[in-house]
Amino acid sequence: MPSSVADTGDRMSTGVTHASRFVDELLHVLTLQDYNTNVVVVGVSALGLACGLIGSFLLLRKRALLGDAISHAMLPGIAGAFMVMSALGGSGKSLVGLLIGAAISGAAGLACILLIRHFSRIKEDAALGIILSVFFGLGVVLLTLIQQMRTASAAGLESFIYGKTASMLASDAIAILIAAVVISIACLVLFKEFTVLSFDQAYAQSQGFPVHGLDIVMTALVIAVMVIGLQAVGLILMIAMLVIPPAAARFWTDRLHRMLFCAGAIGLLSGLFGALISTLTPRMPAGAVIVLVAGAIFFVSMVFGTARGVVRRVVEHVGLARKVALQHLLRAMYELREAQADCEVTPTVLQEGRFSADALQPRRAWNGGELQQAIRLARRAGYLTPDSRGGVRLTESGANAAIHVVRNHRLWEIFLITHADIAPSHVDRDADMVEHVLDPAMIAELEAVLAKTDPALATLASPHHLPSAGGAG
């Protein structure tokens, strides 16, 4: 086999053996001077784009494993098509014939999965595993048989397993390009229909959308993109091209149309760089390189994604923890003053109080570090000023914020007691957790509810007029 692999490699690039020639080659490729290379790179990039688009729907419908099973089920089709075509007297290497065989056996695999699911009690994941492995096993057996046939040369068939841009002719790449563009357009034209199908199939059906027809179209598009990607990416890793770009895109956005755009772009970049790298090293399976590029983009997205990346989540969590700590501190100060002063707690009364860490410590389950950190946060926010005798005092904004926090807290407490039938002994903890996530609209709603049922409580809890957006945030 190796010699024939090199033969096919020669079609794309002359053998790269010496370092100096490698550099020449690199420049040649990167400056896009080689017509064949350009066509291949463009074709594979378009493939990545189409994969990202249709893959987004595949991912959102939680059909990733189904896609994997379909692509593996394509192998016996390739081998079978080769055998049939050789038996009919051809070379057996007509790409169109092989891909038709792949599509047929992929669809047959899907049909088997659906039949197993419908007529037996075997769960979906098991059905997928069975069909994936049985079809792939059949394909391997057929390929082995082909290699033992003396009449035909089976060389190059394995490139459908791992992918090989080097064996790709310019005409192949142009066919991929056209098919990818058509698939992408189909995705965009049916965007609205695919969205409602993916989000809420029963609703789509009740609205008169032919969900089974749409499902068939969507699956057909997936099979189509796999078939055109077989040569470049190979069937084992095909699913990665469909799943990784949309999964990476999800970290950057919460909106579907942007996710599609982003997934298409990531697929395109993966195809572009994967194809470039693999044309430089003809023995390198292109599929693996493309998938690694996509994987790298996925990793970066997972960490830095602006919508739900790890960094953003950590930042948000820290922000919430600080907000909670700050509010705990302000409330403890308010309650301390409330206990000390006989009169109403006004901003002036609050500002007159001097707070030491020793006095605040028993108010909550703080360890020393947490309390000190909360005080530091409050000072940075301008809520506290240091007192000459070592403690701290509330500033005017700090006093207002403390009143605001306590009022929200008490509103919520009363709401829970009067409206939600929660045992009063459990209220305090719940109030603590929820008040930190209450938004001003909800607070206004609580006030309205309270004012209706018990105006005395509402005014009691809020003796002073406060700006409603006043900020403990």
Partner 1 sequence: MMLHQNRPLVSDEASKPSAPEVVQRTADPVATGAEHPETAPLSMHDVTVAYHRKPVLWDVDFDAPEGHLIGIVGPNGAGKSTLLKAVLDLVPRVSGIVTIFGRPYRTQRQRVGYVPQRESVDWDFPVSALDVVTMGRYGRIGWFKPVGRADKEAAHAALDRVGMADYAKRQISQLSGGQQQRVFLARALAQEADLYLMDEPFAGVDAATEKAIIRILQELREKRRTVLVVHHDLQTVPEYFDHVVLLNMRVVAQGPTSEVFTPENLRKTYGGRLTLLEEAAHAIKRGGHG
Q: How far is CA 321 from the centre of its chain?
A: 26
Amino acid present at 260: L
Question: What residues numbered 398-427 form the site for partner 1, per CB under 8 A?
Answer: 419-420
Tokens describing residue 415? 């709401």
192 binds partner 1 per the rule CB under 8 A: yes
Backbone φ and ψ of 256, nearest 5°: -65, -40
339 binds partner 1 per the rule CB under 8 A: no
255 binds partner 1 per the rule CB under 8 A: yes
Total binding residues for partner 1 by CB under 8 A?
A: 28
Tokens describing residue 465? 């007029």
Residues in a beta bridge with 393: 385
195 binds partner 1 per the rule CB under 8 A: yes
193 binds partner 1 per the rule CB under 8 A: yes
Q: How far is the CB of 327 from partner 1 (least distance, A)?
A: 20
254 binds partner 1 per the rule CB under 8 A: yes
169 binds partner 1 per the rule CB under 8 A: no
Nearer to partner 1, 396 or 445 (CB): 445
Nearest to 25 by CA among 175, 172, 166: 166
Nearer to partner 1, 10 or 254 (CB): 254
338 dihedral zone (left: phi>0; alpha: psi -120 to 50; beta)? alpha
Of 16, 60, 100, 114, the residue at the interface with partner 1 (CB under 8 A) is 60
Nearer to partner 1, 160 or 261 (CB): 261
Using CA atoms, how far residue 68 sits from 158, 239, 242, 246, in Å, is 18, 5, 9, 15
202 binds partner 1 per the rule CB under 8 A: yes
For 391-446, give the DSSP string. Answer: SEEE-HHHHHHHHHHHHHHHHHHHHHHHHS---GGGHHHHHHHHHTT--HHHHHHH
464 binds partner 1 per the rule CB under 8 A: no
Of 65, 190, 217, 359, the residue at the interface with partner 1 (CB under 8 A) is 190
Residues 413, 434: Cα–Cα separation, whole Å: 10
What's 385's DSSP letter? E
Stretch that binds partner 1, among 64-72, 112-120, 202-210, 403-411 (CB under 8 A): 202-210
Nearer to partner 1, 214 or 405 (CB): 214
Tokens describing residue 378? 């409050």
For 148-212, give the DSSP string. Answer: H-SSS--TTTTHHHH--GGG--HHHHHHHHHHHHHHHHHHHHTHHHHHHHHH-HHHHHHTT--HH
Amino acid present at 60: L
Backbone φ and ψ of 249, nearest 5°: -65, -35
Q: How far is the CB of 208 from partner 1 (least distance, A)?
A: 5
Of 4, 91, 171, 206, the residue at the interface with partner 1 (CB under 8 A) is 206
454 binds partner 1 per the rule CB under 8 A: no
What's 361's DSSP letter? G
Tokens describing residue 258? 């942007």
Of 449, 451, 457, 466, the residue at the interface with partner 1 (CB under 8 A) is 449
Of 209, 296, 335, 338, the residue at the interface with partner 1 (CB under 8 A) is 209
Nearest to 357 by CA among 342, 373, 341, 346: 373
Contact track, partner 1, 268-307, x by CB under 8 A: ----------------------------------------
18 binds partner 1 per the rule CB under 8 A: no
Contact track, partner 1, 224-253, x by CB under 8 A: --------------------------x--x
Q: How far is the CB of 449 from partner 1 (least distance, A)?
A: 7
Residues that bind partner 1 (CB under 8 A): 60, 189-190, 192-193, 195-196, 198-200, 202-203, 205-209, 250, 253-256, 259, 419-420, 441, 445, 449
